[in-house]
Amino acid sequence: MAPHAHPSDLGTEHSAGHGGRGGRGRTAGPVVGIVGVGYMGIATGLAFAHRGRSVVAYDIDRGVRAALRKGRSPYREPGLAELLGRESRRDRFHIVDSLSELARRAECIFLCVSTPPGPGGRVDLRPIRSASRALGAALREVRGFRTVVVKSTVVPGTTDEVIAPILRRTSGRSARTLGVAVNPEFLSEGRMVRDATHPARIVLGASGARAARAVRRAYAGFSAPIVALSPTEAELVKHGSNAFLALKVSYANELSRWTERLGGDVDRVAEAVGADPRIGPEFLRAGPGFGGSCFDKDLRAFRRRAQELGLGSRIADAALGINDDQTRHAVELVQRAGGPLRGREVAVLGLAFKAGTDDVRESRAFPIVEALLAAGARVRVHDPSALANFRREWARRSPRQSARLRFVRTAEAAVTGADLAVLQTDWPEYLRWPSAWSRRMRRPRLVDLRRRVPAPVARRAGLEVFALGRGASGPTPAPRGRRRRA
């Protein structure tokens, strides 16, 4: 994956009309509206502001609106707070308190509402249905052509069959005064700023020529090519892309079991495989399984939609199955490294689904911690950013709290007295692994599920490392004669 975005990486090119440093920027093109200012909504809105659009944004959550109005990002994401501050100072990113005001001011309105997982793999469309009804009612009050763009992830056919009819019915507008389009997002947490401001391609599925022109005008100044499709084709691109990327991750995870069994390093093998230009190196990094808000949810929704259409989805089946297998394999590696876990102290380091974010949705830390507790271990967990989110979600998932699970505020507290540590998320502070941490453990032993603690660091700290996907030389041995603190 590309490195995390930094404000200096946002590029030097500007659309015509950008204001000077710290001043109010003149804007060009249509006013852009953002409905739903979550991770995707704020990144989308700020990207348009960065390219010279005037952006008005609304979220149903008053707390989110209040934070953004003060220039504070509610989300941890590299470069996001800096971009928010910059575009707010340039007077190009505005928070409004009603959909009526947004509908009056914005010509091109992007629906960025969450589409959480529902029962049986279905997508829960209640949030986007509700937002569409409310937006449609607001559009009744304004004059002039408006274009509503579905940015939220929905299964193929949803915009034409569900969202567009709601918008037209509640707004009282026909295709003459209301355009509907689909413009899926392709953002990765940890690099959302870069992905939003410098997209690789812009997929556009419009219901008509006027709607397509409106969205193209909104994207004026972006250098990415625009791929014009139908709304359903655009929705299929989003799900097809995520299914393929999840399959690449799963393929690398299967390779990791081969290298452990036969001897070798999965990163060396994956690098050579990815050097083939027909394959490419992206998403070929093995770990304990994929997590986050997209892959698991979208694969299950894709599979459910395939069933409804009378189709099979072996790709989704395979990726989901391999992901579950890989998480079980990670737990087995922990058990092999630590021996019988009953009564043992285990530190789990990293709870976010990946470094650079506080997002714990579908994090592999949940099944790993659950398995460790089921094996009788006493578990301490730490994360520099996601501890509070993990604790809230754990309480929701496991109402009967275990006395053998502790949430601690520092990594040093997590490893003190531990028989074993597990690196689940590769935050930089863990990779430095000071010798003091090893001395505080009963036995300085680490299961590195990301293969990220450097061998020189481990040797200097007297740390035995068992790495997922590496089987040639076994654990990195601790130097002899090192005194260990009980």
In degrees, rounded to 5, the angle at the alpha carbon of residue 467 between the alpha carbons of residues 363 and 253 is 55
What is the total residue count of the chain? 486
- In the chain, CATH 3.40.50.720 covers 18-229, 239-322, 327-467
* Contact present, 53 and 33 (Cβ < 8 Å): no
Cβ–Cβ contacts within 10 Å for residue 413, how many?
A: 14
Unique residue bearing structure tokens 């209040």 = 66
Domain at 239-322: CATH architecture? 3-Layer(aba) Sandwich (3.40)
Question: CA 477, CA 308: separation in Å to the nearest integer?
Answer: 54
How high is the pLDDT of residue 475?
A: 53
Query: Using CA atoms, how far apart are residues 210 and 220, in angstroms rounded to an integer?
Result: 15
CATH number of 327-467: 3.40.50.720
User: Is residue 459 within 8 Å of 436, Cβ to Cβ?
Assistant: no
Integer Cα distance of 421 and 437 in angstroms: 10
Give the position of tokens 């009612």. Answer: 137
In the three-class reduction of DSSP (H, G, I as helix; E, B as strand; rest coil), residue 188 is classed as coil
E strand intervals along 155-279: 178-182, 202-206, 226-229
* Nearest one of 152, 154, 190 to 352, comparing CA atoms: 190
The answer to whether 329 and 258 have CB atoms below 8 angstroms apart is: no
**Catalytic residue among 40, 125, 218, 294, which?**
294
Quote the pLDDT of residue 478.
52
Under 8 Å CB-to-CB from 34, ≥6 apart: which residues? 41, 42, 44, 45, 55, 56, 57, 58, 109, 110, 112
Residue 420 has a pLDDT of 97
How many Å separate Cα 163 from the centre of its chain?
25
Any bridge partners for residue 109, and if so which?
A: 33, 148
First-to-last alpha carbon distance for the chain, in angstroms, is 40
Which backbone phi and psi does 150 adopt, to 5 degrees? -85, 110
Q: What is the DSSP letter of 43?
A: H
Alpha helices in 176-230 (DSSP H): 192-197, 209-218
pLDDT given at position 3: 33
Q: Rounded to an integer, what distance in angstroms lies between the CA atom of residue 456 and that of residue 252? A: 25
SS3 helix, strand, coil % of the chain, rounded to 5? 45, 15, 45
- Predicted pLDDT at 476: 54
Written as six digits, the tokens of 311 are 């189709």
Q: What does each of the 486 residues of the chain score in pLDDT, given as a tens digit?
A: 333 333 333 332 333 333 333 334 455 689 999 999 999 999 999 999 999 999 999 999 999 999 999 989 988 889 999 999 999 999 999 999 999 999 999 999 999 999 999 888 899 999 999 999 999 999 999 999 999 999 999 999 999 999 999 999 999 999 999 999 999 999 998 899 999 999 999 999 999 999 999 999 999 999 999 999 999 999 999 999 999 999 999 999 999 999 999 999 999 999 999 999 999 999 999 999 999 888 999 999 999 999 999 998 899 999 999 999 999 999 999 999 999 999 999 999 999 999 989 999 999 999 999 999 999 999 999 999 999 999 999 999 887 778 899 999 999 999 999 999 999 999 999 999 999 999 999 999 999 999 999 999 999 999 999 999 998 544 555 544 444 443
108 catalytic, yes or no? no
- Between CA 114 and CA 128 the distance in angstroms is 7
Residue whose structure tokens are 């460790």: 372
Cα angle, residue 258 at apex, residues 257 and 260 outer, rounded to 5°: 65
Which of 127, 173, 170 minimizes the C-alpha distance to 146? 173
The pLDDT of residue 26 is 52
pTM summary value: 0.86
The C-alpha atoms of residue 71 and residue 481 are separated, in whole angstroms, by: 54
Residue 285, Cα to own-chain centre: how many angstroms? 16
User: CA torsion sign, 59 to 61 to 66 to 72?
Assistant: negative
Domain 18-229: which topology?
Rossmann fold (3.40.50)
Report the SS3 class of residue 303. Answer: helix
Burial of 157 (0-12, 13-18, 19+ CB in 10 A): middle
Residue with tokens 């590029």: 11
User: How many CB atoms are located within 10 Å of the residue 23 CB?
Assistant: 11
Element (H, E) at 440: helix 435-440
445 within 8 A of 371, measured Cβ to Cβ = no
